[in-house]
Amino acid sequence: GIISIADGIKSRPLFKILKLNLACANINENASIRLQEAIATLKHLSTFEINLRSTGISNEEFINILEGVRSSGEPERIRGISINISFCSRIKESGAESLCEYIKTLKTLEMLKLEIKYSKLAEPILKSLQENLSSLKYLRHLYLNIEGSTINPQIVEKIRKDYKRLNHIDIKFNQG
């Protein structure tokens, strides 16, 4: 399971791209700590993708995994981030804040993809992105899927309007 995945990651410290599809997996605290430790060994990481859809991951477990990515090396190396936390109802606002704080440090980020469908975290995450996207000077591709989440459409429109410099912007949401 996840412990084997973590061991595999640790045995490959030169990975530049890490894609983890853990959708519907059973992630407990021990597994999240093992993933945190394994991901932290990837000092050349440039692209990180993780699918946590419908995992039931807790707030603390999510923050553990984010800490692994944050510890993996220089934030200047990270060019792409893709995180799917759709249907993850146990992640709290502090988990969303941790994610947003991490994204703000990624000054050379070129691609950001967040899937936060059917989540109460969509609005706080989008508000933070709206306030901080201007600091991400190299961001060219933004993909946000917030379908089924309650969100003020003005936030989405402001992101679209303010960030015309992006080569590609795709925001999917339910308009009321």
Q: Is pLDDT of 176 > 60?
A: no
**Alpha-carbon torsion, ordered 26, 29, 34, 35, to 10 deg:** 60
Mean pLDDT, rounded, for 105-133: 93
b/e 41-75 (16+ beta carbons within 10 angstroms → b): bbeebbbbbbbbbbbbbbbebbbbbbbbbbebbeb
Phi-psi region of 172 (alpha: psi -120 to 50; beta: other; left: phi over 0): beta
Residue 165 confidence (pLDDT): 77
Mean pLDDT, rounded, for 26-38: 96
Q: 164: pLDDT confidence band, cut at 50, 70 and 90?
A: confident
Q: Which of 45, 50, 14, 15 is nearest to 32 (CA)?
A: 50
Residue 133 confidence (pLDDT): 85
Q: In the structure, how many helices (H) and strands (E) does the chain have?
A: 6, 6
Residue 175 confidence (pLDDT): 62
Q: Identify the bridge partners of residue 1 per DSSP, sorted by sequence position.
A: none
Residue 141 confidence (pLDDT): 94
Q: How far apart are CA 18 and CA 83, in angstroms?
A: 12
42: tokens are 């990837």
Mean pLDDT, rounded, for 32-36: 97
Mean pLDDT, rounded, for 8-32: 95
Query: For 138, how many CA atoms within 13 A lie in the half-sphere containing its CB?
Result: 14
- Residue-averaged pLDDT of the chain: 93
Q: Is pLDDT of 21 > 90?
A: yes
Q: 73: pLDDT confidence band, cut at 50, 70 and 90?
A: confident
Mean pLDDT, rounded, for 35-49: 97
Q: Is pLDDT of 34 > 90?
A: yes
- Residue 119: other Cβ atoms inside 10 A: 22
